[in-house]
Amino acid sequence: MRKNIVLIGFMGCGKTTIGKKLARRKDYEFVDMDEVIVERAGMRITEIFEKFGEAHFRKMEEDLCKELSTAEGLVIATGGGVIKNAENMRLLKENGTVLYIKASPEHIYRNIKNDKSRPLLNCEDKLTRIKELMAERKSLYENGADITAEITGMTSSKAVWYITDILEGENVL
């Protein structure tokens, strides 16, 4: 059976959009971790953060990583903060190749400037916040990845072609 393809990267880099297209193209099943958590909690992510705190969300995220570590044949879009927990990365790598979708803060800002669904970017100056958080997390994304794909400036369709080529070149697909 095929190993999972695990997409990591900052909020708004396109993990969900790219993951869905990649899965369709290569006949994998697609799982969006945030979507599973929202379904299980019966509320949106902003509400989970407000009512129970970030730690509760992170616990749900880790539990889901445990479950997914034994799955196969999936393209998994993770939440942008999954890399904050080393155990998550160990679990996701058990049966997965981890691909980092790297994009500049400006590229990300363009994708999420009108979005209200991300509690960690709920502030006036989103671009500055993106830059700060990205600086904090940069090495976690880089060290967590088996493969990095820099997609700054690409449309999601172009990014899918590019990522497919990279994965084929690495004999993952």
Rank residues 2 and 104 by Cβ distance to ligand S3P and give the closer one.
Answer: 104
Minimum distance from residue 54 beta carbon to ligand S3P (Å): 8
Phi and psi torsions of 74, nearest 5°: -110, 145
Closest CA to 21 of 129, 161, 127: 161
Site pattern 61..80 for ligand S3P (x: CB under 6 A): ------------------xx
The SS3 call for residue 35 is helix
Whether the Cβ atoms of residue 83 and residue 144 lie closer than 8 Å to each other: yes
Report how far residue 39's alpha carbon sits from residue 124's, in angstroms, rounded to the nearest whole number.
29
Q: How would you class 104 by CB atoms within 10 Å of its CB: exposed for 0-12, middle for 13-18, buried for 19 or more?
A: middle
Tell me if residue 10 falls in helix, strand or coil.
Answer: coil
Q: Is 108 in the site for ligand S3P (CB under 6 A)?
A: no
State in angstroms the smallest separation of the CB of 135 from ligand S3P. Answer: 14
Binding residue (CB under 6 A) for ligand S3P from 6, 31, 45, 103: 45
Site map for ligand S3P, 124-163, x if CB under 6 A? ----------------------------------------
Interaction mask 9-28, ligand S3P, x per CB under 6 A:
--x---x-------------
Q: Does 34 bind ligand S3P (CB under 6 A)?
A: yes
